[in-house]
Amino acid sequence: MIARARALPLTDDALVVDGVTVRLGGRTVLDNVSCSVRPGEFTGLIGANGAGKTTLFRVILGLEQPSAGSVRVAGGGSESSGRGGTDVGYVPQKFQLDPDMPLRGRDLVGLGLDGHRFGLPLPSRSRRQLVQEMLDAVDAGAFADARVGQLSGGEQQRILIAHALISRPKLLLLDEPLANLDLRSAQEVVGLVSRIAREQQLAVLISAHEMNPLLPVMDRLVYLAAGRAASGTAEEVITSDVLTKLYGHHVDVLRVHGRVIVVAGTGHDEHAAVEMGGASVEIV
């Protein structure tokens, strides 16, 4: 007998976030956030800097305990989501790879497979093949043997994606992967990840503060503002009503040539903040 009405959906969902609240340093960073991602779905987590995207990722990875709510990954238990397991692949936002470090991209990808295992690795052909497959899947074969710290940002990004994918996770988290890339590289990464998502029926959650580059490929999105979240398709979520409720003050949504512009402020104010697909620009 299920005593509580609020039952978590029987899940073929790769990720279920249910009512997660996180309070850090007296501030409510996440307030009753719920969303879910199905296998093969490419979901964007959109929010301005400081909106709580990384915090949500940390909760999903089990690195942060929510004050309320739960997270379930791929049908696993809500307490141990992802932690220590290989169900969640993670591509961090900030990483510093020492240019002089003796490590090839190939080695780093290999570490994605067994980097958490103790003991010395036994050389095995199957491991080598798997690494090569991954490198090919992300088109990194050309620079896989170069010093990983000397690769360009985009190249390192791909290596890290391969590193995250090699353990065949059910969910792939990418933390602001587009932030430091030029437009072309950003488009390549987005295209690459969405292709892999469809091919491998992988659930992808990609965080960004600019939603426009993702609009063409996103199946759904989760919009974070003021600690609260709204999720659904872009048409459902990016509307004046939904966002106004989220922000707590009036918000207009303009669609211009397929791009979305979010405008906050009522015009009675001395200045309005214009959010270009998520990034704020002050107009005085």
Beta strands 203-208 and 171-174 are parallel
Residue 181 token pair:
């890339």
State CA 8 to chain mean position distance: 22
Binders of another protein among residues 5 to 44 (CB under 8 A) are: none
Task: Examine residue 111 and tell whether it contacts another protein (CB under 8 A).
Answer: yes
Binders of another protein among residues 157 to 176 (CB under 8 A) are: 160, 163-164
State CA 126 to chain mean position distance: 30
Tell me the C-alpha distance between 209 and 164, whole Å. 22
Nearer to another protein, 98 or 139 (CB): 98
Rounded to a whole number of angstroms, the minimum distance from the CB of residue 169 to another protein is 10
Tell me the C-alpha distance between 179 and 78, whole Å. 30
DSSP character for 97? Answer: -
Name the one range near another protein by CB under 8 A: 22-30, 141-149, 236-244, 267-275. Answer: 141-149
Residue 247 token pair:
């922000």
Task: Examine residue 117 and tell whether it contacts another protein (CB under 8 A).
Answer: yes
> Helices marked H in the chain — which ranges?
53-60, 105-114, 125-137, 153-165, 183-200, 234-237, 240-247
Task: Examine residue 101 and tell whether it contacts another protein (CB under 8 A).
Answer: yes
Nearer to another protein, 141 or 216 (CB): 141
**Maximal C-alpha separation, the chain:** 69
Nearer to another protein, 9 or 121 (CB): 121
Task: Examine residue 252 and tell whether it contacts another protein (CB under 8 A).
Answer: no
Task: Examine residue 95 and tell whether it contacts another protein (CB under 8 A).
Answer: yes
Task: Examine residue 88 and tell whether it contacts another protein (CB under 8 A).
Answer: yes
Enumerate binding residues for another protein (CB under 8 A).
61-63, 82-86, 88-90, 92, 94-95, 97-104, 107-108, 111-112, 114-121, 145-147, 160, 163-164
